[in-house]
Amino acid sequence: MKRRDARAFWLFVGPFLIGLAVFAYLPIGWSAYLSFFDARNTVTPTDFVGLDNYGHMLTDEPFLSSLGTFSVFAVFIVPLTFVLSLALALGVNQLRFARAFFRSVFFLPFACSYVVASLIWKTSLFSGVRYGLANTVLGLFGADPVAWTGTVHPPLYWIVLVTARLWLQLGFYMILFIAALQRIPRHLYEAAWLDGAKPGWQVFRYVTLPQLRSTAVAVLLLNLINAYQAFDEFYNIMGDSRGYPPFARPPLVYLYYTSLGSGGQDLGRGSAGAVILALIIALVTLLQGRVLRFGRTA
Amino acid sequence: MHNRRNFLALAGVGALTAACGSNTGRQGDPPPSTAYSAGPPPSDTPKVALQQWYHAYGEDGVQEAVKRYAASYPGAAVTVQWNPGDYDSKIVTALQNSKVPDVFEAQVKIDWVRQNQVVSLDDVIAPVKADFSPAVLAAQTVEGKVYGIPQATDTQVLFYRKSLLQAAGVQPPQTVDELIDAAAKLTKDGVKGFFAGNDGGVGVLTGPLLWSAGLDYLKGGNREVGFDDPRAATALGKLHTLNTNGSLLLGAPADWSDPGAFIDGLAAMQWTGLWNVPKIRSAFDDDFGVLPFPKLDGSGAPSVPVGAYGAMVNAKSAHVAEAKAFVKWLWIDQTQNQLEFATKFGFHVPARQSLIDRADNLKNGPAADAARFVKENSHLVGGPVWTQQANTALSDAAAKIAKEGADPAAQVKTAVGVAQSELKRLFG
């Protein structure tokens, strides 16, 4: 690289690198440091406790429960998001007119604040009173109002959480798939037709899907990581000023209450939980990448 | 936006004003302060700058009032910062390494004291300590030292529509079973019997249910768990009945602290704060009454939770002495301001007993009843020694009992275990 190019590189990349170091790597390192101390209400602890915080978190029923709950959530939300966003992408990509319009329509929710969407879902669409949208529809069929976020048997709150997440995220993954679809060379389809492949499922199965492999694996990985990092919609839909119920409590919400709970901050245990969660995400991601052969082309 | 009621909504915090009004033997003006010597400096001394933090009160006029109080202080240039959002987390974070704020409102936690983040205000409060009930001070006291001067007292009560109860042939409930029975009978024509929050009462009724059985969060000078008792399981089990018999309003647009569900006719009874009296009176005139949370049985007692923010001083402030002098001036000497702060912008009970009798809007009707409940039946929610971990464990237990039908005895046992380990951590 020429000296002038190097200067330009650091000029443009430097500020972001500094930001990344100060606001990402330093806190991660500090968090790892805190995880070995009794760090209640302090970020400069002196009471070294070794692996005690890790031991506590690994035997802490609410933390383990949050991990279990979200593994189940990931099992459902990842395939659901994958299939629906791919279907949307295929549908929008085939439009002959107003394609840009529909692409924008489906993508726009991604630009919406999670907090705003959560509050709309909680207080308007899935409000428990008779004039909530979902209950209004049910009322047309003579059904009584349903407490969507408060009903545990059956766990109706998942409908609220999953639909909110789907509405917010589908558009983004749809765009990724559309970009991948548009990169598939036209001649591959022509060759398939010449070889007698039937339009529809056969072409999709043997041409389109293999060509989407890299994007599909990336979407799956991003989805999985996002599932474990879920916070905003859960915190705003299920939580209130008094706290958060034990059901549908994702790891980050639990760690938030542990680390930054009102009146008391246990940064040692919260950091240990964060490190454990990061390791789990890394492990699952690596495993998934290996199984799906991430990085390889069709 | 947060408002004054939300300090009661925060886990493990609170204050108590039991037996208010009787232990000073004085009427009218509170006693003057004489013991604390740090006062406003001479007028020719350059003023130090102090920063004072409040959470964002919801009632109109409070912000202007506290700014006016600060501006009129002669001893320092006090800047008021209004903090919307999660104020309590913000304060905890600020206290860790910051000199700002110098003065702030909060409820002390034992870990703050252990980390030397706040200073004792014993010398500030000493001359008028008897004017606050011991219970109010308990919310600001850790191991014998006072760290906050209580500013005002809030409480929650059971609001009920007189006409709806009369039409259903229901008497105001005096026991928990009567409350459950009343809620069921009042549930008809699209109106639910009772609303205690969208979490089914887990957040706001856990404390009252323990008190209804004669139990508490902690006991024995905060060194023992207060609900290690079979009656705790019995009391919390009532929450499951309420959540499963179809009489509880769930999923309301606004939560328990807002009177919307009650005013809109979605529920015949609602557990909410005294601060809602003006709005409810405006909607129903005299067609409503208030009750404490009922007793579990003959061995229990009715209750109301109380709490109060106290004015505290940051130990890392560059001007601790000046900050203490300001706190003394505002929350000890300026009784007229204290009375206005508590009663002009909503329904709150003054923190000082001598001021309660001067509060005109607490002399009649439901407000007077509530003020009486505060004197006779009030309990502290959690307290300085009740930690976040213990509170999460108890809250989880209550939620699992109420919502999932979990075994109350097993859930209480789990919560007791966590609370005991927290006490062991704190006191060895």
Angstrom distances, CA of residue A176 to CA of A171, A172, A228: 9, 7, 21
The CA distance from B227 to B245, in Å, is 26
CA B422, B309, B340 angle in degrees (round to 5)? 165
pLDDT greater than 60 at residue A170: yes
ipTM for the assembly: 0.83
Task: Give chain A positions within 8 Å (CB) of B388.
Answer: 257-258, 261-264, 266
For residue B250, list chain A residues with Cβ-Cβ distance below 8 A. 128, 147, 149-151
List of chain B residues whose C-beta atoms are within 8 Å of the C-beta of residue A253: none
Across the interface, do B88 and A262 touch by the CB < 8 Å criterion?
A: yes
**Count of A-B CB contacts under 8 Å:** 140
The answer to whether the Cβ–Cβ distance between B392 and A62 falls below 8 Å is yes
Predicted local distance difference test score (pLDDT) of residue B7: 45
Structure confidence at residue B241 (pLDDT): 95
For residue B414, which residues of chain A lie inside 8 Å, CB to CB?
Answer: 61
Gap from B241 CA to chain A (nearest CA, Å)? 14
- Name the token pair of A146: 């349903």
pLDDT value of residue A34: 96
Distance, in angstroms, between B400 CA and closest chain A CA? 7
Mutate to test the interface with B, among A119, A242, A249, A265 (most CBs of B within 10 A): A242
Please tell me the predicted confidence (pLDDT) of residue A4: 82
Inter-chain CB proximity B388 and A130 less than 8 Å: no
Q: Do B199 and A240 touch (CB under 8 A)?
A: yes
Contacts of A27 in chain B (CB under 8 A): none
Chain Cα centroid distance, residue B202 = 16
Residue-level pLDDT at B113: 92
Residue B28: which pLDDT band, with cuts at 50, 70 and 90? very low
Q: Could you tell me which residues are beta bridge partners of residue A40? A: A266
* Ramachandran category for residue B220: left, alpha or beta (phi over 0 → left; psi -120 to 50 → alpha): left
Rounded distance between C-alpha atoms, residue A255 and residue B108, angstroms: 22
Residue B7, token pair as written in the block: 């300090």
Region B395-410 average pLDDT: 95
Record: contact B11-A243, CB cut-off 8 A: yes
- Tokens 């905060």 sit at which residue? B222
Q: How far apart are CA A122 and CA A140, in angstroms?
A: 21
The pLDDT tens digits of the residues spanning B183-230 come to 999 999 889 999 999 999 999 999 999 999 999 999 998 999 999 999
How many Å lie between the alpha carbon of A14 and the closest alpha carbon of chain B? 29
Indicate whether B272 pLDDT > 90. yes
Q: What is the 3-state secondary structure (H, E, C) of chain B?
A: CCCHHHHCCCCCCCCCCCCCCCCCCCCCCCCCCCCCCCCCCCCCCCCEEEEEEEECCCCCCHHHHHHHHHHCCCCEEEEEEEECCCHHHHHHHHHHHCCCCCEEEECCCHHHHHCCCECCCHHHHHHHHHHCCHHHHHCCEECCEECCEECEEEEEEEEECHHHHHHCCCCCCCEHHHHHHHHHHHCECCEEEEECCCCCCHHHHHHHHHHHCCCCCEECCCCEECCCCHHHHHHHHHHHHHHHCCCECCCCCCCCCCCHHHHCCCEEEEEEEHHHHHHHHHHHCCCCEEECECECCCCCCCEEEEECCEEEEECCCCCHHHHHHHHHHHHHHCHHHHHHHHHCCCCCEECCHHHHCCCHHHCCHHHHHHHHHHHHHEEECCCCCCCHHHHHHHHHHHHHHHHHCCCHHHHHHHHHHHHHHHHHHHHC
Residue A40's closest chain B neighbor by CA? B111
Residue scoring higher pLDDT (A62 or B43): A62
Residues in chain B closer than 8 A to A266 (CB atoms): 388-389
> Burial of B176 by CB count in 10 Å (0-12 exposed, 13-18 middle, 19+ buried)?
buried
| pLDDT classification of B10: cutoffs 50, 70, 90 | very low
Q: CA-based angle B247:B251:B252, to the nearest 5?
A: 90
Given a cut of 90, whether residue B275 has pLDDT beyond it is: no
Neighbours of B90 (CB within 10 A): 16
Q: What is the pLDDT of residue B97?
A: 81
Nearest to A41 among B96, B204, B399 (CB): B96
All residues of chain B having their beta carbon less than 8 Å from the beta carbon of residue A148 are: 251
Report, as an integer, the average pLDDT of A26-45. Answer: 92
Interatomic CA distance for residues A287 and A78, integer angstroms: 15
Dihedral sign for Cα atoms in the order A44, A45, A46, A52: negative
Q: Which of A41, A151, A263 sits opposite B13 (nearest CB)?
A: A263
First to last CA, chain B: 40
Contact call for A149 and B93, based on CB within 8 A:
no
Instruction: Give the nearest chain B residue to A39 (CA atoms).
Output: B115
Nearest to A152 among B13, B257, B404 (CB): B404
CB-nearest partner of B251 from A43, A127, A262: A127
Place of tokens 């009369």: B166
Q: What is the pLDDT of residues B320-374, one digit of tens each?
A: 999 999 999 999 999 999 999 998 887 888 888 888 888 888 888 888 898 889 8
Percent of chain B with pLDDT over 70: 89
Question: What is the chain A residue with the closest CA to B11?
Answer: A242
What residues of A are in contact with residue B405 (Cβ under 8 Å)? Answer: 153
**Measured distance CA(A275)–CA(A272) in Å, rounded:** 5
Q: Which of A129, A145, A152 sits opposite B253 (nearest CB)?
A: A129
Structure tokens at A111: 């630009």
B417: pLDDT strictly greater than 60: yes
Confidence (pLDDT) at B344: 87
Residues of A whose CB is below 8 A from B399: 245-247
Which of A43, A61, A266 has its CB closest to that of B389? A266
CB atoms within 10 A of CB A232: 18
Q: Region B61-65: what's the mean pLDDT?
A: 94
- Of A214-228, A231-245, B12-26, B232-246, give the lowest mean pLDDT range: B12-26
Single out the residue of B386, B379, B59 nearest to residue B208, CA to CA.
Answer: B379
For an interface test with B, the pick among A52, A258, A262 (most B C-beta atoms closer than 10 Å) comes out as A262
pLDDT in tens, B367-395: 889 888 988 888 888 889 998 889 999 99
Give the per-residue pLDDT at B31: 40
Residue of chain B whose Cα is closest to the Cα of A127: B251
For residue A239, give the chain B residue with the closest CA.
B199
Distance from CA of B17 to the nearest CA of A (A): 21
How does pLDDT run across A239-278, given as a tens digit for each residue? 887 788 998 899 999 999 898 876 568 999 999 999 999 9
In Å, how far is A43's CA from the nearest CA of chain B?
7
Q: Is the pLDDT of residue A180 over 70?
A: yes
* Contact assessment for residue B78 and residue B70, using Cβ atoms and an 8 Å cutoff: yes
Q: Which of B260, B222, B301 has its CA nearest to residue B18?
A: B301
Q: Over chain A, what HEC string results?
A: CCHHHHHHHHHHHHHHHHHHHHHHHHHHHHHHHHCCECCECCCCCCCECCCHHHHHHHCCHHHHHHHHHHHHHHHHHHHHHHHHHHHHHHHHHCCCCCHHHHHHHHHHHHHCCHHHHHHHHHHHHCCCCCCCHHHHHHHHCCCCCCCCCCCCCCCCHHHHHHHHHHHHHHHHHHHHHHHHHHHCCHHHHHHHHHCCCCCCHHHHHHHHHHHCHHHHHHHHHHHHHHHHCCCHHHHHHHCECCECCCCCCCHHHHHHHHHHCCCCCEHHHHHHHHHHHHHHHHHHHHHHHHHCCCCCCC
Are A123 and B253 an interchain contact pair (Cβ–Cβ within 8 Å)? Answer: yes
Instruction: Note whether B102 and B52 are within 8 A (CB).
Output: yes
**A260: closest chain B residue by CA:** B89
Interface test with chain A among B90, B396, B404, by most A beta carbons within 10 Å: B396
Q: Picking from A8-22, A59-73, A196-210, B138-152, which range would have the lowest pLDDT averaged per residue?
A: A196-210
Token couple for B310: 């106290």
Nearest by CB to residue A128, choosing from B92, B251, B396, is: B251
Contacts of B97 in chain A (CB under 8 A): 43-44
Q: Which residue from A minimizes the CA distance to B198?
A: A150
The alpha-carbon gap from B155 to the nearest alpha carbon of chain A, in Å, equals 15
The amino acid occupying position A244 is Y
Q: What is the mean pLDDT of chain B?
A: 87
CA dist B353 and B19 (Å) reads 9
User: Is the per-residue pLDDT at A140 higher than 70?
Assistant: yes
Helix B230-244 to helix B176-186 angle (10° resolution) is 0
pLDDT, tens digit, for every residue of B95-127?
A: 888 899 999 999 998 989 988 999 999 999 999
* pLDDT at residue number B13: 33
Chain A CA closest to residue B85: A241
Q: How close does chain B come to A277, measured CA to CA in Å?
A: 19
The two structure tokens encoding residue B139: 């919310």
pTM, 2 dp: 0.84
Torsion, Cα B405 B409 B412 B416, to 10 degrees, reads: -160
Q: Which residue has the tokens 């964002």?
A: B56
